[in-house]
Amino acid sequence: IQDVPLPDNFLIGAAVSAFQTEGWWNKGGKSESMVDHVLHTGRLGTLGYKNANDSDNAADSYHRFKEDIAIAKQLKLQVYRFSISWSRVLPEGDVAKPNMEGVQYYHDLIGEILKQGLIPFATVYHFDHPQVLEDQFRGWQSREMIRKFRDYARFVFNEFSSKVQLWATINEPNVMCTYFGTLLITAGLVKAEDYDAYKCMHHITLAHAEAYRAFKEDKLTGRVGVNTWIVTSKPNTTSIEDSFAAEVFNQLQAGSILHPIVFGDYPELVKTFTGHLRPEFTPAEKEMMRGATDFISLNIYAEGNVAYKDPDSTPETLPFSGAAVIVDKMTHGVDFISFRFADGQGRRTENYPWYSVAPDAMRSSLLWTWQRYKLPIMVAENGISLKKGMDEKLRTAYYSAYLRSVVSVVNDFKVNVMGYIVWSLIDTFEWSNGYDAKFGIAAVDYESGSFNRSLKSPPDFWLQIAEKRVIPF
């Protein structure tokens, strides 16, 4: 097997997010975010999460961001993806009362990224909205959130767009509305019968589009997208029923967000199967949403298998996971399809069993998206968590295989892929799973509390890719 050259102008980067790395959760003028609040209830024990205060320091990147950026620089990466904390910038959720210390922090962070010669890729909102917006009107369950997000995004765009040219408005709206909805319910903050994932999806899609329009109205320069979680699924067998079920699933999961912002409305299959559960877009909203993205930003990890299910059979029990919860919530009310994730044939990692290792899923997700939307695609996340002590060669083998898969669709089908961003640069706090899921290409010493950063393997692998522009086997 030979080393594979990267396409021209193909960007290589690594990502972090504010909540998962910054720490300093209630200092520097930051208020409690929805995620802080959920964890502080201490009621996520059933999901494997043990210590309610563990997330409070995260990786202490609020103070150590220069060390993080230095790692990206050392590996000669081109893109540094990070997110801005809504509750650090607008602690009261009120655009008239920004926290200037928080704003300055992001100026310093972006300044350092630029100083080190990296391209900043900013996500405006990565799950962590101010808790006050939950208290006031139940967050994304309310239309009020659309205006709140647009105002926040407009503030951030105007403040930083002279330095940042690559933007994602929201990280994984489809995960926000499903997985995080489940966390709110598990934490006892919302009653299951009062939580509506479809309403959340409807509002958050509109919020993205409103923010996109604000960016363009203000005549700012740069490209704006939204990060979408995608697990493109294959039919479980070659039967017509399974093939149809797989396409319904893919449309429900990724099409629900991508189709409206490209074509102005939900996909037909989504309307057919869940139309009765979703609010409808008005003609003016459809108009506003159409074409409201400059590129498609995808977070791609795993594969899924989908099977048609007889409506009378017993529902399959799914393990708790981001993917399974999406399935569960997105198919609520759709009773003829069952979804089975990963094939159980050893393609899952020992430490993080719900993300299958399936480089071909990268290929199918890119092709599925390209065939429908024909917009440039950024792979904004891809990575694997390995237990401490496991052979780090597995991680580089994983990246080699997934990257080859990306390059194959560029070469074979001329898919326009802008670049590939690793999740994650450093080990981070993984939502309801604490510090056990170690996705970083660099480790953080959480155990001793020193927060020291260190590369997990010699830098050669990334230097070959990012500097020499070939994917080593």
Residues classed as catalytic? 172, 381
Q: Which long-range contacts (CB under 8 A, 24 or more apart) does 288-291 make?
A: 288/209, 288/210, 288/213, 289/205, 289/206, 289/209, 289/260, 289/261, 289/264, 289/265, 290/262, 290/263, 290/264, 291/261, 291/262, 291/264
At a CB cut-off of 8 Å and minimum separation 6, what does 132 contact? 31, 91, 92, 93
Question: Smallest distance, Å, CB 390 to ligand GCO?
Answer: 17
CA atoms within 13 A on the CB side of 98: 17
Say how far apart CA 177 and CA 199 lie, in whole Å: 9
Q: Which of residues 442-461 bind ligand GCO (CB under 6 A)?
A: none
- DSSP state letters, 387-430: -TTS-THHHHHHHHHHHHHHHHHHHHH---EEEEEEE-SB----
- DSSP state letters, 152-196: HHHHHHHHHTTT--EEEEEE-HHHHTTHHHHHHHHTTSS-GGG--
Question: Smallest distance, Å, CB 32 to ligand GCO?
Answer: 19
Q: Does 423 engage in binding with ligand GCO (CB under 6 A)? A: yes
Token pair of 57 as six digits = 């320091």
Q: Does 174 engage in binding with ligand GCO (CB under 6 A)? A: no
231 or 366: whose CB is closer to ligand GCO? 231
Q: Does 381 engage in binding with ligand GCO (CB under 6 A)? A: yes
256 or 299: whose CB is closer to ligand GCO? 299
198 or 352: whose CB is closer to ligand GCO? 352
Q: Which of 87, 250, 299, 396 binds ligand GCO (CB under 6 A)?
A: 299
User: Scanning the structure block, which residue is given the tokens 């502080």?
Assistant: 40
**Sign of the CA dihedral with 461 first, then 464, 470, and 472 last:** negative
Quote the longest CA-to-CA distance of the chain. Answer: 61
Check residue 286 and report its DSSP letter. Answer: H
227 or 293: whose CB is closer to ligand GCO? 227
Question: Smallest distance, Å, CB 279 to ligand GCO?
Answer: 25
Q: Does 274 engage in binding with ligand GCO (CB under 6 A)? A: no
29 or 419: whose CB is closer to ligand GCO? 419
Q: Which of 172, 210, 242, 303 binds ligand GCO (CB under 6 A)?
A: 172
Say how far apart CA 379 and CA 122 lie, in whole Å: 14
176 or 409: whose CB is closer to ligand GCO? 176
Question: Smallest distance, Å, CB 320 to ligand GCO?
Answer: 13
- Chain centroid offset of residue 43 CA: 24
Q: Which of 69, 72, 118, 175 binds ligand GCO (CB under 6 A)?
A: 175
Question: Smallest distance, Å, CB 202 to ligand GCO?
Answer: 21
Say how far apart CA 368 and CA 370 lie, in whole Å: 6
CA atoms within 13 A on the CB side of 367: 14
Question: Smallest distance, Å, CB 385 to ligand GCO?
Answer: 7
Q: Which of residues 9-68 bind ligand GCO (CB under 6 A)?
A: 17, 20
Of 37-45, 64-72, 159-167, 168-176, which part binds ligand GCO (CB under 6 A)? 168-176
Total interface residues for ligand GCO by CB under 6 A: 11
Q: Does 171 engage in binding with ligand GCO (CB under 6 A)? A: yes
175 or 177: whose CB is closer to ligand GCO? 175
Q: Which of 128, 134, 210, 430 binds ligand GCO (CB under 6 A)?
A: 430
List interacting residues with ligand GCO (CB under 6 A).
17, 20, 171-172, 175, 229, 299, 381, 423, 430, 439
